[in-house]
Amino acid sequence: MRWVFLGLAMLTALIIREMGTRGTVSDRRPLMVFSDMDFQPRYNPQAAGPFFADGRAMRTPPAGTVPFGGTDYECDAGSPRQNPDLLREDDVYYRGKKGTAWVTANPLRVDMKLLQRGQERYGIFCAPCHGATGKGNGVITQYGLTGVAGITDALHALMPEGQFFDVISNGKGRMMPYGPQIKVRDRWAIIAYVRALARSQNAGITDVPESIRGELKP
Ligand code: HEC
Task: List average pLDDT for each run of 10 residues in the chain, which is 218 residues long.
Answer: 91 84 73 84 91 92 77 47 64 92 94 96 96 94 91 90 96 93 92 94 86 83
167 touches ligand 1 (CB under 6 Å)? yes
Burial degree of 92 (CB within 10 A; 0-12, 13-18, 19+)? middle
Amino acid at 143: Y
173 CA to middle of ligand 1, Å?
Answer: 8
- Which residues, 6+ apart, have CB-to-CB distance to 52 below 8 Å? 59
Per-residue pLDDT at 71: 58
Nearest CA to ligand 1 atom 5: 126
Index of the ligand 1 atom closest to the CA of residue 126: 37
In a domain, 200, yes or no: yes
Q: How many domains does the chain have?
A: 1
Per-residue pLDDT at 143: 94
Output b/e per residue, 154-171; b: 16+ Cβ within 10 A: eebeebebbbbbbbbbee
- Supply the range of the domain harboring residue 117: 104-205
In a domain, 61, yes or no: no
Nearest one of 170, 173, 164 to 197, comparing CA atoms: 164
83 SS3 class? coil
Per-residue pLDDT at 10: 94
In a domain, 62, yes or no: no
129 touches ligand 1 (CB under 6 Å)? yes
Q: Which residues pair with 98 in a beta bridge?
A: 101
In a domain, 35, yes or no: no
In a domain, 113, yes or no: yes
Phi, psi of 57 (to 5 degrees): -80, -30
Q: Residue 129 is part of a domain; what is its CATH number?
A: 1.10.760.10
In a domain, 161, yes or no: yes
Residue 70 Cα to chain centre, angstroms: 18
In a domain, 114, yes or no: yes
